[in-house]
Structure 1
Amino acid sequence: MKRRTITLAAVVAGAVVLSAQLPASATSATALLRLRGGLTLEIPASWRVYGTADRVQVVTGACARPGTGFFQSRCDSFWVMGPAALRTGGEGGVRYNPVNGPFFPASDVPPCPTNPRYGHVIGKAIAVGHRDIGAAHRAHYRVWPGRCVTYSGGEQKSTFKQREWYLPTSKILVIDKWATPGLDRILKNAVWTR
């Protein structure tokens, strides 16, 4: 079967180009998303991809302003971060380390994922372990509980969970605040090429 490549997002010079390979058949419901380090994910063809090799946003549903930043509210999506993003991905701009806390590149209270009128805070990890991302790539897995609170008084309005898969050798972090349906399976079935 003949394949064609559709570029989903261009990347700065010298970096890997993000692309999807679709079968020539118009009935294909999936696309291949090629990421850094040879990581390839098979995602629904309806998902849209924004960003560069180090900060990739995969929009999976409704999104008012895709590609505008990690703390954007009301944007069903997950993120794939690389080494440059991880250098300042810990709270307060320190290097990301899953043992020390979630990916939280801020020193203030950013907007809640579901409603920008509220801020969000993240608590201590409620799940800690390992998950496979493709064959022979074991990720550190954590689930961080998030609360959406009023900026004045801190009254809780809603909750969410920030799931993270971190590959320390590849320096790749996948972050999901939207409980993206099927993401666990997509990551488990990932393919690594070199």
Structure 2
Amino acid sequence: MFMTIALSASLVLSGSPAQAATKPVTFQGFTLKVPAQWKVKKEGVDLRVITGACSARAAECKGFLLGGPQAVKYASEGSPYRPDQPYHPSSGVTECVPAKKYYSGQATRVRTSTTAFGTGRQARFTEWKVSCNGSKMKVAAYTQRVWYVKAKKVIVVDHWKTLGLGAILGKAVWK
């Protein structure tokens, strides 16, 4: 009995089997293994993966967008995605993601690199710091991370710095 309790306590403290539960998410020819508690919602022809809470103060729930050819085609103010610009499909002013009472403003590129997106595929990764309410960075700001697989016309947009997302995308399985 003592051994069973000790083993159960060890699993709870180490976070092993329960936290390792995953489910597949398939989109545009690839499959990701994501934590089982994440929810997947269809958004037009794209998918929104919801990873956490939905706050009434935020413009969107915590999570990220899996976008295909349509998202790439209209990713820059109604024009095709441009790696030198943040993802901004709207031609107008957009709400600040973490604090929708403000508007998104200036974006500053933090870094750009090439990273694995599954076996044999590469994505261009770009991270942006986006200010809210004009240039007043101290009012509100957020980070936009974009993975773009040009050959497959796939884009992943994360406004919440989703923990482990880069590793999950790196293990994508392509058909």
Q: Between Structure 1 and Structure 2, which shows a larger proportion of helix residues? A: 2
Give structure 1 regions of 4+ aligned residues with deviation exceeding 3 angstroms.
none
Counterpart amino acid of residue 167 in structure 2: R
CA distance in structure 2 between the partners assigned to 1:29 and 1:122 by the alignment: 39
SS in 2 for 1:136: coil
Matched, 1:30 2:22: yes
Counterpart amino acid of residue 190 in structure 1: A
RMSD: 2.1
Matched, 1:147 2:147: no
Partner of 2:86: 102
Partner of 1:78: 64
Q: TM-score, normalised by structure 2?
A: 0.81
Matched, 1:41 2:32: yes
Higher relative contact order (CA 8 A, sep 6+): 2
Count of aligned positions: 156
Matched, 1:165 2:147: yes
Of the three residues 111, 117, 129, the one matched with 2:113 is 129
Q: TM-score, normalised by structure 1?
A: 0.74
CA distance in structure 1 between the partners assigned to 2:83 and 2:94 by the alignment: 19
Matched, 1:186 2:168: yes
CA distance in structure 2 between the partners assigned to 1:105 and 1:146 by the alignment: 15
SS in 2 for 1:125: strand
Shift of the alpha carbon at 1:145?
1.0
CA distance in structure 2 between the partners assigned to 1:110 and 1:59 by the alignment: 20
Shift of the alpha carbon at 1:74?
4.4
- Structure 2's unaligned 5+ residue stretches are 1-17
SS in 1 for 2:51: strand
